[in-house]
Every structure is written in C-alpha cells, then in structure tokens.
Amino acid sequence: MLPAPFIMTTFDDFFTGPARDYLIRAVDLALEEDGPDLTAKAVFARGDRLAARIVAKEDSLVAGLPIADMVLARMGILGVTECEYPAKDGDAVPAGTLVGLFTGPAVGLLKAERVILNFLCHLSGIANLTARYVAALSGSRTQLLDTRKTLPGLRYPEKYAVLVGGGLNHRRTLAEMLMLKDNHIDRAGGIPQAVAAVRRAYPQGSPPLEVECRSLNEVRQAVELRPNRIMLDNMTMDQMREALAMIPQGIETELSGGVSLEALPELGALGADFISVGRVTHSAPYADFSMQIGVAAPSGPAPSSRNRSA
C-alpha cells in the first residue's frame, strides 16, 4: 500500500529540507525581479518608518501568511520590523479581517508589499478553490488530490496551499511515485511490458507504482500485475463504474481527466479512493488581500518587542 498522504500540521512542518530551500529561492527571485525601489528611496529618508496592515477584501481562507516574515528576513529588515498576525494559515476570514500588522522601515516595507501580497493572494486562492472541490466530495469516501500542474518554481508553495484547503498532495517529485502513463506504456508495448521494465530496473524495490489505464482492457491487465494504484484516465461514467468493480481491495483507485466541480458529487458516489484535479493549482483565481500603508511613524530605532504568532 502507499504511504499515508501528507497532511498539513503547520507551515514549518511542511517547509523543511528541500521544500524550504525552494521557497527561499522563490522569495529571493521575486525580490530580485523587482529590483531596488528607486521611487521610495527618492521620497523617504533612510530613517523613515511606516505602519502597514494586510486586510482581506473578500471572504477567504488564509494561506502563505508566514512568508511575510521570510520576505522581510531575506531583505534584512525583519529584526527592525514589528510584525503581528491576528490570523494564521488555515483560518477562514470574512471580508474586512485584519490578518497582518507591520511597522518598519518605509523603503523596505514598500518594496516588500507586492512580494508578500503575491504569495498570500495566490496561495490563498488555491486554498479557496481546493476547499470548494473538497466540499463537493463531502459525504463520499473519495479524497481530492492535486497534480504536478504547478507554476515552475512554486511547486511546494502551491501544494502547501492545497493542504490548507483540505486536499491531499499527489507526488511532489517524479521520484516519490512511479507512474506509468500512456507514453511509457506505448513505448514499452503495453502495460505488462511497462510494469516488467520498471520492476527489472528496481529489483530491490521501487517507490509505489501507479498505472494509468485508458480502457477496460488495460484495467484488466493492470489488475493482474497488482500495482499500488490504478488510475482511470478520461473514462466515461459507465466505464469508470465497471472498472472500479474489477479492481480488488488492496489496489488504490484514482479518477482523473477533465474533472469539473459540478461532476464531483456524481464521481464521488462511484467510491474511488482519490480524484486528482489539476485545476486547483493551475486555474485558481487570486484571493483579494490588500496592504494598506499608514501615516509614517516617527523616525528612529524600532522597538525591540514583536508579537509574531504565525
């Protein structure tokens, strides 16, 4: 059987090891893309400080708020910025909710504003859309999976946002699960040959194996070979119903291919283990958060105390 799906506990639990490294690189790239804020440097003195607040402009889940601290840290101004987070990742907040408060160097906060909001709005939007798909499956045993249809460089943040929305992560890398898709199967000459090639390549045991099936005949072949999971790809409702009846307990099942939100209740009633949906990452609309900049605070050193709850 496959290992238990990764279930989010906290931001720090998810962003460890390579996941954290990739996120830091994404933050650094975002800051580099903006370059220096020449406008702010021309208007504000070196010691000027500003107050800023992040507010939800629509009802939304919150995802990616701790990235604000990371942005400020990569800029070298976290230690001189007061940060307070009245909300946390996973919270469902109504429009008008204050989710972040900052007092810090004027030039730094103005440069950080769009980078922080881009992450927060994008990831919260993914969490919102994921939550809608999960809700459409309520009452069924079927769980929602994401896919690798993510923006280059943002694989881990986007998959984190799926977890915030109540979904589960499919493989995050190509090495976490072996998946025999149409190209592999056609090149090998069929499902039996493709499975045999994988098992020859990894005689000491491989990561879990999933086989993509496009027809009932392919399902029959896959069942005989006992992979960890069988995916039913772009089949009709009747074909999926018949295929699922052919797959014994001990082999996980996944439905995939053009899954719409409206179709989820009917698909969930089929009783598959998982439904994978690329739309929750590649087509999620931004959630609407804004950063409101207040009147400049008096110039001078930042207070030493900070309330950082995220």
Which residue intervals of 105-236 are DSSP H helices? 106-136, 155-164, 182-188, 191-201, 216-225
d(CA 103, CA 109): 8
Out of 212, 252, 254, 273, pick the active-site residue.
212
Three-state secondary structure readout of 244-301: HHHCCCCCEEEEECCCCCCCHHHHHCCCCCEEECCHHHHCCCCCCEEEEECCCECCCC
Question: Kind and range of the H or E element at 105?
Answer: strand 98-105
d(CA 253, CA 275): 9
Count of Cβ atoms closer than 10 Å to residue 299 Cβ? 13
d(CA 142, CA 48): 54
* DSSP-based three-state secondary structure for 195: helix
- Phi and psi at residue 109, to the nearest 5°: -65, -35
Out of 233, 252, 254, 273, pick the active-site residue.
233
114 annotated active-site: yes
* DSSP-based three-state secondary structure for 84: strand
Out of 114, 132, 214, 279, pick the active-site residue.
114
149 annotated active-site: yes
What one-letter code names the amino acid at 149?
Answer: K
57 annotated active-site: no
Out of 41, 53, 132, 149, pick the active-site residue.
149
Give the active site residues: 114, 149, 181, 212, 233
